[in-house]
Amino acid sequence: MSSHTIPHIVVIGGGFGGLAFCRNFPKGVARITLLDRTNHHLFQPLLYQVATAGLSVPDIAQPIRAIVADRSDITVLMDEVVRIDAPGKKVVGKSEELSFDYLVIAAGARTTYFGHPEWAQHAFGLKTIDDAVQIRRHILSAIERAELTEDLAERERLMTVVVVGGGPTGVELAGAFAELFLHTLKDDFRNVDPTKGRIILIESGPRLLNMFTPELADEAARQLQELGVEVKFNNLVKDIRHGSVVLPTETLLAETVVWGAGVEGSPIGATLGVPLSRGGKIKVEPDLSLPGHPDIFAIGDIVAMVDVKGTTIPGVAPAALQMGAHVAALVERSIVQGRRAGEVREPFVYWDKGTMATIGRSRAVAMAMGLQLTGWPAWMAWLVIHLMFLVGLRNKVSVVLSWMYSWFTYDRSSRVIYGVEPPAK
């Protein structure tokens, strides 16, 4: 199955970083094995739209095999990596063990509850397809139960959603929940009035969206409030229990709690024996290789780094794409030219093309090349850029149609409750 004369590259993770590496790495130079726990590449920036019933799963996910089907040099394996033996140059998965010449770790990040893992039982994270499908099932089922009950306090609790964290995930989720309640569901019930449902966004600091200017952050808060979202600043969550969120001065009763407050590096980082950041992310060298392991690289959300220009690299898709391309060039050069003693590799420099967050129909904020946009222009820019980066023509067409349909009808296409309730929740 393999030739021993050409080098073997193992890539862990089929997200933006891992796929960018594969795409930028030329055919015929090496044998690549791409490992992922799932069978799909996920377009995470639109995951909140699956959670809020606007898009369906295949709209934002594509089989990794299909994406690289024309690359006979790439073998895709669906397996979960248990640990990495860096000195022995081996990746140990649940189903097999792989030796490598070069390793690219693009395993991403996962939700963290900042020292309160028990909150995971009561507050959904939003990192995977399963997370999004569970949130969707949960919120739609809660409203069905509200329609059935005659206990008014319970009805109010069932119709309350708390979103924790005022970053892009929290802001986008809160806006999308508000539109679901205000528009999509408004005529569907006889006993409850979905437009009276409460959406509460909790932020521990004094403002939303830290990566934006204060003006744009204020504008985002104003737009959310126009949609009826209650934004609570300077509120650190004290506890999350079944059906309630405890804040410093009040307790919110809510059936649905979504946690968008933080992520940490994938746990496989801890098996490497290299220094990690406080958030469990890998501290890489300026060229993205691991300290002491010039043939092992880390890219994307699993990386904690400040580049040579002093920019702290954010955990966003463009950073992962740029890192994947950078490492592809380095590994190719290393294989083709051979490594020379004392060689200094080109450092990675992040090019910030801009930042944007959407709040709802015609509501968004964006910052790019010194410009600040709000409302319609920001929203259009958001739409176009997200479509551009969505993998696959079919997904683009399907998402455009779903969005156009929602725009004209205020309906959302993916409101079907199904699936097995996970055992622990």
Q: Which stretch binds a second copy (CB under 8 A): 70-78, 195-203, 210-218, 293-301?
A: 70-78
196 lines the binding site for a second copy (CB under 8 A): no
Among residues 96 and 343, whose Cβ is nearest to a second copy? 96
Among the listed residues 6, 7, 24, 38, the single contact to a second copy using CB under 8 A: 38
Q: Where are the alpha helices (DSSP H) in 260-316?
A: none
Q: Based on the shown chain and the rule CB under 8 A, indicate whether residue 152 belongs to the binding site for a second copy.
A: no
Q: Which of 96, 147, 172, 285 is catalytic?
A: 172
Contact by Cβ (8 Å): 324, 106? yes
- Among 91, 129, 216, 272, indicate the residue that binds a second copy (CB under 8 A): 129
Quick check: 60 and 42 in contact, CB under 8 A? yes
The alpha-carbon radius of gyration of the chain (Å, integer) is 22
Residue with smaller CB distance to a second copy, 81 or 356:
81
> Quick one: 78 or 276, whose CB is closer to a second copy?
78
- Exactly one of 15, 49, 79, 295 binds a second copy (CB under 8 A); that residue is 79
Which one, 322 or 413, has the nearer CB to a second copy? 413
Per CB under 8 A, contacts with a second copy among 241-300 are none
Please report how the helices 375-389 and 393-409 are oriented relative to each other, as an axis angle in degrees rounded to 10. Answer: 150
| Residue 343 is a catalytic residue | no
Contact map string, positions 84 to 113, toward a second copy, x by CB under 8 A: -----------xx-----------------
For a second copy, the closer CB: 125 or 168: 125
Quick check: 285 and 291 in contact, CB under 8 A? yes
**CA max distance for the chain:** 76
Select from 106-114, 129-137, 161-169, 375-383 the region that touches a second copy (CB under 8 A): 129-137
DSSP single-letter state for residue 37: S
Among the listed residues 6, 7, 23, 78, the single contact to a second copy using CB under 8 A: 78
Phi-psi region of 342 (alpha: psi -120 to 50; beta: other; left: phi over 0): left
349 binds a second copy (CB under 8 A): no
Quote the least distance from Cβ 279 to a second copy, whole Å. Answer: 26
Q: From CA 283, how far away is CA 307, in angstroms rounded?
A: 11
Please tell me whether residue 70 binds a second copy under the rule CB under 8 A. yes
Per CB under 8 A, contacts with a second copy among 357-396 are 394
The residue count for binding a second copy (CB under 8 A) is: 57
Structure tokens given for 327? 């490492």
- Whether the Cβ atoms of residue 14 and residue 41 lie closer than 8 Å to each other: yes
Cβ closest to a second copy, residue 73 vs residue 307: 73
Q: Candidates 76-84, 300-308, 326-334, 355-363: pick the segment binding a second copy (CB under 8 A).
A: 76-84
Residue 200 has, within 13 A of its CA and on its CB side, a CA count of 23
- Check if the beta carbon of residue 316 is closer than 8 Å to that of residue 256: no
Is residue 342 classed as helix, strand or coil in its secondary structure? coil
Contact mark string toward a second copy, 394..413, x via CB under 8 A? x--xx--x---x-----x-x
DSSP H or E stretch at residue 49: helix 47-51
Q: Which of 123, 203, 171 minimizes the C-alpha distance to 365?
A: 171
Q: Is 44 in the site for a second copy (CB under 8 A)?
A: no
Among 56, 223, 355, 358, binds a second copy (CB under 8 A): 56
Q: Are 99 and 295 in contact (CB under 8 A)?
A: no
CB within 8 Å of 314: residues ≥ 6 apart: 211, 355
Among residues 97 and 215, whose Cβ is nearest to a second copy? Answer: 97
Q: Is 29 in the site for a second copy (CB under 8 A)?
A: no
CB of 403 to a second copy, least distance (A): 12
Interaction between residue 117 and a second copy (CB under 8 A) = no
Distance of CA 372 to the CA centre of its chain: 24
Q: Applying CB under 8 A, does 148 fall inside the site for a second copy?
A: yes
Q: Taking a C-beta distance cutoff of 8 angstroms, is the pair 401, 379 a contact? A: no
DSSP state of 101: S
**What does the alpha-carbon distance between residue 369 and residue 350 come to, in Å, rounded to a whole number?**
14
Nearer to a second copy, 238 or 425 (CB): 425
What is d(CA 287, CA 214) in angstroms, rounded to the nearest whole number? 33
Spatial contact of 169 and 109, defined as CB atoms under 8 Å apart: no
Q: Which residues are catalytic?
A: 172
List residues near a second copy by CB under 8 A.
1, 38-40, 56-59, 61-63, 65-66, 69-70, 72, 75-79, 95-96, 128-130, 133, 140-141, 144-145, 147-149, 185, 187-191, 394, 397-398, 401, 405, 411, 413-423
